[in-house]
Structure 1
Amino acid sequence: MELIERGHALQLLQQALETAAQGSGRTALVCGEAGIGKTSLVTQLLSQHREGRVLWGGCEALFSPRPLGPLYDMAGALGAKLQSMLGLEGRRVELFASFLEELQHSRGTTVVVLEDLHWADAATLDLVKFLARRIQRVRALLVLSYRDDELGERHPLQLVLGDLPADAVVRVPLLPLSEAGVDELARQSSRPADGIYAATGGNPFFVTEALRAEGLPATVRDAVLARAARQPPAVRALLDLAAIVPARIEVDIVDEVLTPTPADVSTALASGLLTADGRSYAFRHELARIAIEQALSAPVAAALHAKVLACLARRGEHGVPMSRLVHHASGAGDSAAVLKYALHAGDEAASHGAHCEAASLYRTALAHAGGLPPAERANLLERHSYQCYVIDQNDCAMEERLAALAIWRKLGDVRQEGLTLRWLSRLSWFGGRKREAEEYANQAVQLLQDQPEDEAYAWALSNRSQLYMLSGHTTEAVAWGERAIALANRIGSDEVLTHALNNVGTARYMIGLPDGKPMIERSLQIALAHDFEEHVARCYANLVSTAVKTRDYVDAEKQIAEAMRYFCARDLDSWSNYILVWQARLDFERSDWDAAADIAGRLVTAHDVAVVTRICALVVLARVRLRRGDPGARELLEEAVALAQQSGELQRLAPVAAAHAEEAWLRNDGAPVDAIVLHAYALAEERQDRRALGELRYWCLRLGLMQAGPEGTEEPYALQIDGHWREAADTWQRLGCLYERALCLLEGDESAMREAVAVLESLGASAAVKRCREHLRDAGVRGVARGPRATTSANPAGLTARELQILSLLAENLTNAEIARRLVRSEKTVDHHISAILRKLDVRSRGEAAAMAGRLAFTTPAVERPAARRQRLDS
């Protein structure tokens, strides 16, 4: 049948394909509920694509999807180099780059179709991110189909879609058919349409199934089962066998299990339920397969899974994806087989950096591990715990380690107990529970110190060093770390060595000692050489966080880029989220508040983000909202205070305290300052943390909480506190910290104070602008406006005159660069204004803002010439 009511959707895809053919690739998101016609729409598009090639792969509803399953589907159409790389350990970044290179060198336009991404494994989602961010460089259309009604806020695909470049994405949502569309389908089928629309809701698959049925079924499931029930027993057996295998079942497996006659196969295909491509059979639609699978009795389903498992096992493990063996072993209820294959598959997934899949597979194994000996069960719990740890599921990781601890204690295995206590210390720290982390760390040292000096004791020493480093106790961190390094060298443990070098190096780097950073870099080299993923991630985390804290922003950006390239090929969510939040803090400090708020907002709303990451995200988002005068800052700060106090670490407490102090200054209402400010200040003095001491001392002096000199304070704040506001402002300018520069200028002469207000206005810092105007009036500066200008209050969205000008230029479809040239402003300034416009209008795109400009009765002022503006300001 021809497609009904899909003309606009098809046109969107055709336009995207035409754009891709011109050398500017596009990503098309085809979404809708199951049965809505996503595959039919893409097939229709490809039927018209004759001057290029098609690469088509899909994701499957296995218990744990095979990593990069869609790439294996299209392997036969890929070049020899790519085929040789599939399945190779630790080569995912190279594999992705080779795939992109193949697209770049294709003669015609390539259409890459990835179906059913709601079932995608983490590796496939990484491939999507990699391609979508680079698709504009190639003549290719990347078509992604998924069921949007199955994506909750916490679904991994949701995060991927939010990160795609908006200017290269075409969204093609598919809606149910109208009643008229259903009537047209019925007419084409020569069937009556009575009641079909009401029964199906316009879902195309449901409609076609209902039209095929003899009489109107109560549900589509009934329609599918009714059609299956009319088949001869041999055909129904074939349908049942095919139903337990997601996606497709090989012809030779069907022949081995059932030996169907050619007539049976022909009848099955004629039923309209099954299709064949010469190598395999597949249901015409996944909903039909699910309907038949769910109708199978448990004994019948288990028997069929057992037969398929036996067939696959006879082929040998190397010829069959482990995830598929696990699927059928679990369906057969064969616990021994599940344990065998799930453990093997979990180890394989972990070795390839597919930690989400590994965690899922170990979880499946644990469900069948009741009969394992205690020590083996404890080992499995620890393997699962580690995978949960690296994918940011800290609560689950903690629960599994505690279960393992109970087993080791019952067995009297002191060494394993000590190792588990060290891990519980680490997980407690990640959960923001410093006191528990310290207790577990001390227990591990006390338990193992009288045992032979082996790797377990070395880990206990290095963990103790790590906790001291994280809390700012440099002397203790170095002392314990050097003990761990010495022991690691004696026993030949490279893993403990890289861990301890990182701890000592970071402790020394944070206080400015020149040998600190090289120690971390040596740790990184060892970790990379031995593929110690967690330790590589820790090195990047400490290099990035320390660079940001010391305001070496250039190096921080370099380290972040290297870290993200490393994370691209691995499911290290705990660490990639941690690096991301430091990117948000870097953007915040360098005045790119939109980017900072975007990253921090996603992390605040994400599920299972580690507490140490969440604290930083809460603070960044709260401070952006405070400065802009946006709602919700207070609630974010309250949560941040509770979590930071629980962590007990200065690096968590200081930013929260600074945010509270800044809020008190912005409020200017005489209310008491939160006690966390003075507590964090005292802690910063005790630890002599120049960065924390500088910011907190500055705010405490502004709030009149103390009188103190600049000793021990980082340079820009020291200059500012000492009265050298111009030098301080110049330093902040070089660093790119425009907000801090404006606050310095506020301490200068009248010209500087006016410049401060202008800088804050350009940043969209409405709350700070209001506070500065109060400061100017208090200082006797005349002609200071008390609130929004008349042009701002005259429009319902509260846009400034400049924002109104830019909105009018947006309506003319001008780019940011064109607007900047028209207004004689930098592109970055225009970016800030556009972000403010989108926020005030509560829209998500430039196009929506331009459309709203046409609906609202704004009086947009003429674009002012620079000379006229200077004359007005001078007067």
Structure 2
Amino acid sequence: MELVERDYALQRLRDARALAQQGTGRTALVYGEAGIGKTSLVRCLAFEHSEGRVLVGGCEALFSPRPLGPFYDIADAFTTRTRNLLGREGRRAELFASLLTDLQELDGTTLLVLEDLHWADAATLDLVKYLARRIERVRALLVLTYRDDELDARHPLRLLCGDLPSDVAVRVPLLPLTETAVANMARQTGRSSEGLFAATGGNPFFVTEALSGEGLPASVRDAVLARAGRQTPAVRELLDLAAVVPARIDVSLVQALLSPRDEDVAAALASGLLFAQDGTYAYRHELARISMEQALPAPVASALHARLLGHLESLGDKIPMARLVHHAAGAGDCTSVMKYAPKAAADAAAHGAHCDAAWLYGKALAHAGDLPDAARADLLERYAYQCYLTSQIDTAIASCQSALAIWRKLEDKRQEGHLLRWLSRLHWFIGRNSEADAYGNLAVQLLESIHADDELAWALSNRAQMHMLAGRTAEAVTWGTRAIAMAEKQGNTEVLAHALNNVGTARCVRRHADGKEMLKRSLEIAIAHGYGEHVARAYANLTSSAVTTRDYPEGQWYISQASAYFNERDLDSWSQYVVAYQTRLDFEQGRWDAAGQLASQLLTRCDVTPVARIPALTVLARIRLRRGDPGGNDLLEEVTELACATGELQRLAPVASARAEAAWLRGDEVDDDPIVSQTCRLAEELHDTRALGELLFWRHWMGEDWPETADIEAPYALQRNGQWQDAALAWQSVGCPYERALALMEGDEYGINEALATLSALEASATIKRCRDTLHRNGVRGMARGPRASTSANPAGLTLRELQILALLTQGLSNTEIAGRLARSEKTVEHHVSAVLRKLDARSRGEAVAQAGRLGLAQPH
């Protein structure tokens, strides 16, 4: 195949294939505008691929794409097990793993091409993500083509591509042809190139269409229609039929509907608009098909869709529902849309294509006509659930309220209670907690009155969840205990897992030992029964509870366990939540660089939910504020708005503490921030000792007295009692260097110097400056100053870090203790100690300390 100005792009693909042939698979992203030559490039690569198989699947521009459509195209290459799993509901994990195994076992190197992913359904993108993350294990090159100019910032494909590691993903952007290349193409066809580049922008398809037409067209549409207009009516009929079928049309379908003569088929192919491949006819480019389809008069297009629908219906169950819906909608056939759209939506939902399912249910509702009330309410509920899963919460609420009105009209109390419970959950998602509570209470009252125990168990667990999220432990336990008892009596393991999670989390964050055991039991039940959402929720709450209670080793362990589970299942929304708590764990343990980098990476994604954005934003804001870096206050205002919308203490407390600390860093003398005051009162009301302790600490540092009776976290209680040394030891035991430094700042000269050294290691320049200002105002002079930027200020030429190490060596600390103080690894500390000994010409740590004293380096400068 002859390609123009694509040598570099083709070589990039060849290089990636060579790595795949060596056993290290790669993913190649081939992208550019419509008509840029993506398909031609990939066909050239496939043409020269001789070692192994070439598998090509494509996405179609249907109203709602068929779930896993591209993989149905290549299903014959896979085992019977994989083919059987393709259409099975709830078997996604098995399907993905089975398909990966099949690829690993194919002979030679596999070239797997998936085209037009900008039209892909959610299930296809999930499977692509799964394969791309594991492609290194396979002798395969996964080639993905798409139009990057049609992807907005929130398009799931853009998010998928952004997640791929750079070391396994090869990006091959295709640019327009140069003016020289366009002129050469014109010369080869004997046509003038005047104005051609300006009219086509160097787009290869546009150039080809313009050169094949009569004169320079105003648009590619004009060029395509001019070519089609030169055909006979019989050929044009074939072209029109193919135009209303996205991607390709089976030859058998054309024969059944048109029975065209051989010479008419030959003329259609000779026109350059259509080509034949593997028992199908397809337009040479999708732009050409769309141009033809849009030019069809509405009655003609409707009639063609109707003929196609009628014939496809006669073929039985083997036709994908999505295709039937497409032609039914194109024909304006409401009855058929209602017949097929709900089934297609259920199929899409079963494959995880929830956006497509929501669209299809919405399409069905738009054509519902005289649907009976109960059936309409059921359809509204299904639509609402898919909208809930795809963050269309306002639409979900409206749909639920419409369904609720119907069930009330029909006096179906059980369904009414079910809808009230869902409205409670949905209103919580948009921050309308008072309405969420009202709906939740109504659900329980109604379901109790009619003894609908199956729905009542869910309603009770929902109330427990609402109280747990709001930090109301006693209420969460009361409601959740009832739900647990009812679920155990019914043998309802899903409700049991849900309720145990709620009660366990509520008790765990208040440091009750049985809470963790309940959470673990919830996790075990969810894993045993394959309740993926409940497994993810258990891992998330085990992680957040451990971090909140400062059990950092356990939190890190659960993060590793959760990551392994999520990586095999691509549960991104939950994995983002756990990553957010990793940033908080790193931050609280003094690994600020790692925390800031991870938080920044997470926040670049536009699909991160508020509950994950809040901790990440808070961490990043606090690091910048403490270090005096720009942007901290802007981040703090952004996260304040998000946290206040939730009204929950677990979101508000870290943000309020950050605001109080920011006020102290500014030098404010009085804490008059209403958010801080309100959160402080809420923490006291809910007996949250950690949140209350931190807030009262910052208020104390701004001049307020410690409330003597407040129940606060143990290290803060020690500081309140003036036991700064014990407080520092307590902070050291849990691994919080910054809090330890602030406790030492309330001590003697030795403690203050050590605090400043720790803050210097953390690079908390804004905190250091504020501490020094306070010391000076209190008449304290001569305290050790933080290391200066130049190493020339000391006779030994020690760096900033080496000066810090030396200061700690003079205190007789071991490498392990120094590593703990500076939040660095022992190996790093060992390197620094060696450098200090070398520069001071010392053979031991004792000699280094003595030499430092002689040189006046016993304390950092």
TM-score of the two chains, using structure 2 as the length reference: 0.85
Show the counterpart of 2:812. none
The residue number in structure 2 matching 1:242 is 242
Please state how far the C-alpha of 1:184 moved relative to its aligned partner: 1.4
Deviates more, 1:305-314 or 1:27-36: 305-314
Paired with 2:659 and 2:760, the residues of 1 have a C-alpha distance of 22
Residue 449 of structure 1 deviates from its aligned partner by: 3.9
CA distance in 2, matches of 1:448, 1:301: 51
Aligned residue for 2:705, secondary structure, equals coil
Contact 1:322 1:345 in 2 (8 A): yes
Supply the AA of the counterpart residue of 1:550. Answer: T
How far 1:223 moved relative to its partner? Answer: 0.4
**Distance in 1 between residues matched to 2:592 and 2:160, nearest whole Å:** 21
Q: Does 1:119 align with 2:90?
A: no
Please state if 1:428 is matched with 2:427: yes
SS at match of 1:166: coil
User: What letter is aligned with 2:353?
Assistant: A
The letter of the residue matching 1:420 is L
Say which one has the larger Rg.
Answer: 2
Query: Is contact 2:123-2:351 (8 Å) kept?
Result: no
After superposition, give the CA deviation of every residue in 1:341-381 in whole Å (9 maximum; x if it has no partner).
22112223323433333223222222222432232222212
1:24-39 matches, cutoff 5 A? 24-39=24-39
Partner of 1:222: 222
1:868 corresponds to 2:842: no
Residue 842 of structure 1 aligns with which residue? none
**1:292 positional shift:** 0.8
For residue 492 of structure 1, report the CA deviation from its aligned partner.
5.3
**Structure 2: which 5+ residue stretches go unaligned?**
794-798, 802-823, 841-847
- 1:207-260: per-residue Cα shift (whole Å, max 9, x none)? 111111111111001101111111122221111111112211111111111111
Residues 419-818 of structure 1 aligned to structure 2 (within 5 Å): 419-490=418-489, 493-528=492-527, 532=531, 534-560=533-559, 575=574, 578-591=577-590, 611-670=610-669, 672-708=671-707, 712-715=711-714, 717=716, 737=736, 739-740=738-739, 742-743=741-742, 765=764, 767-768=766-767, 770-771=769-770, 780-781=781-782, 784=785
Q: Which moved more, 1:76-85 or 1:718-727?
A: 718-727
Q: How does 1:280-299 map to 2 (within 5 A)?
A: 280-299=280-299
The reply to whether residue 267 of structure 1 matches residue 267 of structure 2 is: yes
Flag the 1:309–1:713 CA change in 2: closer, same or farther, 3 A: same
Q: Which runs of 5+ in 1 are unaligned?
A: 793-799, 803-824, 831-862
Q: Alignment partner of 2:143: what SS? A: strand
Distance verdict in 2 for CA 1:101–1:619, change over 3 Å? same
* Letter in structure 2 aligned against 1:11: Q
One-letter amino acid matched to 1:868: K
Residues matched between the structures, number: 814
**Aligned pair 1:97/2:97, yes or no?**
yes
C-alpha change, 1:420 and 1:691, in structure 2 (3 Å) is same
| 260-269 or 585-594, which deviates more | 585-594
Counterpart in the other structure of 1:60: 60
Structure 2 vs 1, CA of residues 341 and 789 (structure 1 numbering), >3 Å: closer, same or farther? farther
Counterpart-to-counterpart distance in 1, 2:682 and 2:664? 22
More divergent stretch after superposition (389-398 vs 268-277): 389-398
Change (3 A) 1:452 1:133: closer
How far apart, CA to CA, are the structure 1 residues paired with 2:594 and 2:371?
50
**Alpha-carbon contact 2:690-2:712 (below 8 Å) kept:** yes
State how far apart, in whole Å, the 2-side matches of 1:728 and 1:608 are: 41
Q: In structure 1, give the amino acid aligned to 2:373.
A: P
Q: 1:209 to 1:565 in 2, by over 3 A?
A: farther
1:14-47 alpha-carbon deviations (Å, 9 max, x no partner):
3333344444433322211111111222223333
- Relative distance call for 1:105 and 1:445 in structure 2 (3 A) is closer
Would the alpha carbon gap of residues 570 and 24 (structure 1) be closer, same or farther in structure 2, given more than 3 Å must change? closer
- Is the alpha carbon distance of 1:737 and 1:128 closer, same or farther for their aligned partners in structure 2, counting shifts above 3 Å? farther
SS in structure 1 of the partner of residue 167 of structure 2: helix
In structure 1, the partner of 2:362 is: 363
Secondary structure (helix, strand or coil) at the match of 1:145 reads strand
Check conservation: 1:392, 1:574, Cα contact below 8 A. no
Q: Secondary structure at the match of 1:515?
A: helix
Distance in 2 (CA, whole Å) between partners of 1:221 and 1:718 is: 76
Identity of aligned pairs, percent?
61
Counterpart in the other structure of 2:257: 257
565-574 or 346-355, which deviates more:
565-574
Instruction: Report the CA distance shift for 1:195/1:450 in structure 2 as closer, same or farther (over 3 A).
Output: same
- The question of whether the paired residues in 2 share the 8 Å contact of 1:762 and 1:829 is answered with no
AA at the equivalent of 2:26 = R
User: Would the aligned equivalents of 2:305 and 2:327 in 1 still touch at CA under 8 Å?
Assistant: yes
Q: Where does residue 841 of structure 1 map in the other structure?
A: none
Superposed CA deviations along residues 100-139 of structure 1, whole A, max 9, x for unmatched, are 3444445543333222221222222222322333333444
Shift of residue 654, structure 1, vs aligned partner: 0.7
Give the aligned partner of residue 817 of structure 2: none
In 1: Cα distance, 2:765 partner to 2:517 partner: 43
After superposition, the Cα gap between the structure-2 partners of 1:557 and 1:304, relative to the gap in structure 1 and judged at 3 Å, is farther
Residues 738 and 759, structure 2, Cα contact 8 Å, conserved in 1 = yes
In structure 2, distance between residues paired with 1:95 and 1:687? 46
Distance 1:679 1:89 in 2: 48
Q: How far does residue 311 in structure 1 lie from its aligned partner after superposition?
A: 2.3
* SS of residue in 2 equivalent to 1:288: helix
* Secondary structure at 1:65 match in 2: coil
CA RMSD between the two structures: 3.6
Q: Closer, same or farther in 2 for the Cα pair 1:722/1:243, shift >3 Å?
A: farther
Query: 1:192, CA displacement in angstroms?
Result: 1.6
1 CA distance for matches of 2:603 and 2:102? 38
1:177: how far off? Answer: 1.3
CA contact (8 A) 1:390 1:534 kept: no
Indicate how the Cα distance of structure 1 residues 246 and 443 shifts in structure 2: closer, same or farther if over 3 A, else same: same
Name the SS for the 2:53 alignment partner.
Answer: strand
Task: Give the Cα separation in 2 of the matches to 1:577 and 1:370.
Answer: 42
Secondary structure of the corresponding residue to residue 30 of structure 1:
strand
**Letter aligned with residue 785 of structure 2:** V
State the AA in 1 paired with 2:427. Answer: S
Q: How far apart are the structure 2 equivalents of 1:715 and 1:480?
A: 30
Q: Tell me which residue corresponds to 2:810.
A: none
**Cα displacement (A) at 1:495:** 4.2
Question: Are residues 353 and 697 of structure 1, via their aligned partners in 2, closer, same or farther at CA, if it must alter by over 3 Å?
Answer: same
Q: Is the 8 A contact 2:57 2:70 kept in 1?
A: yes
- Is the partner of 1:392 in helix, strand or coil? coil
CA contact (8 A) 1:791 1:801 kept: no
- Aligned residue number for residue 808 of structure 2: none
Instruction: Confirm or deny: 8 A CA contact 1:710 1:717 kept in the other structure.
Output: no
The letter of the residue matching 1:83 is R
CA distance in 2, matches of 1:89, 1:828: 51
- How far the C-alpha of 1:53 sits from its partner, in A, is 3.2
Q: Does the CA-based 8 Å contact 1:434-1:646 persist in structure 2?
A: no
Cα gap change, 1:444 to 1:574, in 2 (>3 Å): farther
* Equivalent residues of 1:520, 1:539 under 8 A apart: yes
Equivalents in 2 of 1:259, 1:111: separation in Å?
Answer: 36
Determine the structure 1 residue equivalent to 2:279. 279
Which residue does the alignment assign to 1:186?
Answer: 186
Q: Distance in 2 between matches of 1:759 and 1:169?
A: 41
Give the stretch that moved more between structures: 186-195 or 41-50: 41-50
> What is the one-letter code of the residue matched to 2:290?
I
Residue 305 (structure 1) aligned with residue 305 (structure 2): yes
Q: Is the 8 A contact 2:37 2:204 kept in 1?
A: yes
- Residue 332 (str. 1) matches residue 331 (str. 2): yes
Q: Is the 8 A contact 1:431 1:612 kept in 2?
A: no
Q: CA deviation at 1:285?
A: 0.8
Aligned partners of 2:8, 2:733: CA distance in 1, in Å? 51
CA gap 1:195/1:341 in 2 versus in 1, 3 angstroms: same
Q: Which residue of 2 aligns with 1:417?
A: 416
| 3-state secondary structure, aligned to 2:355 | helix
**Cα gap change, 1:134 to 1:453, in 2 (>3 Å):** closer
